[in-house]
Structure formats: structure tokens, C-alpha cells
Amino acid sequence: MKTSARPVDPAWLAALHAASFPDARPWSAREFSALLAGPGCLLAHEDQGFALARVAADDAEILTIAVHPDARRQGIGRRLVGELERAAHAAGALTLFLEVAGNNTAAVNLYESSGFACTGRRARYYRQRDGQRQDALILAKPLR
């Protein structure tokens, strides 16, 4: 699944992911290649962003959403989430889950305004490059 004509290049995904998450360990092109080759992988992308999810049985999980910092607040993230919701539902998923750093206010606001609700918390789940740890919020949304 895609939302533009840009070819899916794992190196491009890795570079965009690194630019989008400067405080986190970037995912490598090899990691993206493995995810894309795996079962149930869903990818939505535009020129300045992408979203990756995986469907297993009747659940789907958003693995990552990356939007270039220069292209934020233009609706790209919201469109990508919507694309993943539709694709996950079409693949048989009944619920869409994700984890997000609790201090990522912009992302939390996007997900909550898109109908996701907090169902749990993983204390000190994310490690940042500076060694700090951040809680992960577990969010879920039923797919209709």
C-alpha cells in the first residue's frame, strides 16, 4: 500500500526515520528491509513521511510513523494513520494498537484526535540517545 509514486527504498525509510527521531536510535535500512519482507506488513508513504504497521490475526500494530521535521503540521501524519487504518481493516484487523513516548505531545494529540484511547503504560520503555528513559503509552482504536 502506498500514497505516492515514490519507490519504497529501505535506505530512504531509514534516513527519514533518523531525521524524524533525532533523540532515538535510528532504524537501519536492513531493519526496514526485514519488516517490509515480513508477513502482514503495511506501508503508507508520501514524499515527506511514511507509516509502517503489521497485521497479525485480528490485531494490527503501528510500528512507526515518521514525518520529516520540515513537513510537520501539514496533515501528513493524519493521512498516513488513516491509510493504515483502512488497510488494516481490509486485512481483517479489528483493533489498531500503537506505542508512543509519553512526552511526544504532538503524536499523542494526533492519535487521541484520531480516536485512539490510552489502554496502558510501559514505564521507562524508550531509551533516548542521551540515556534518558521515557514511558510508552499504549493506545488502541477499534476498527469498523
Nearby residues of 49 by Cβ (< 8 Å), 6 or more positions away:
16, 20, 65, 66, 67, 68, 71, 76, 77, 80
47 has pLDDT over 80: yes
Number of domains in the chain: 1
Indicate the pLDDT class of residue 6, thresholds 50, 70 and 90. Answer: very low
Active-site position among 99, 112, 125, 126: 99
Residue 4 belongs to some domain of the structure: no
Top pLDDT among 137 and 26 is at 137
Q: Domain of 88?
A: 10-142
Stated pTM of the model:
0.87
Residue 25 belongs to some domain of the structure: yes
99 is a catalytic site residue? yes
Nearest to 68 by CA among 86, 47, 85, 54: 47
Residue at grid coordinates 506505542: 99
| DSSP codes joined into one string, 62-85 | EEEEEE-GGGTTSSHHHHHHHHHH
Residue 5 belongs to some domain of the structure: no
Q: What is the model's pLDDT at position 8?
A: 82
C-alpha cell at 113: 484526535
Nearby residues of 24 by Cβ (< 8 Å), 6 or more positions away:
126, 127, 128, 129
Residue 15 belongs to some domain of the structure: yes
pLDDT digits (tens, 9 = 90+) for 104-130: 898 999 999 999 999 999 998 887 777
C-alpha cell at 14: 531509514
Indicate which CATH number applies to the domain containing 118: 3.40.630.30
Residue 3 belongs to some domain of the structure: no
Return the half-sphere exposure (C-beta side, CA atoms, 13 A cut-off) of residue 128: 14
61 is a catalytic site residue? no
Residue 91 belongs to some domain of the structure: yes
pLDDT digits (tens, 9 = 90+) for 23-44: 778 899 999 999 998 999 999 9
Q: What is the model's pLDDT at position 1?
A: 41
Residue 119 belongs to some domain of the structure: yes
pLDDT digits (tens, 9 = 90+) for 62-98: 999 999 999 999 999 999 999 999 999 999 999 999 9
Indicate the pLDDT class of residue 7, thresholds 50, 70 and 90. Answer: low
Percent above pLDDT 70 for the chain: 95
Nearby residues of 3 by Cβ (< 8 Å), 6 or more positions away:
44, 45, 46, 79, 80, 83
Active-site position among 111, 112, 125, 126: 111
3 has pLDDT over 50: no
Contact status, residue 141 vs residue 34, Cβ threshold 8 Å: no
Residue 2 belongs to some domain of the structure: no
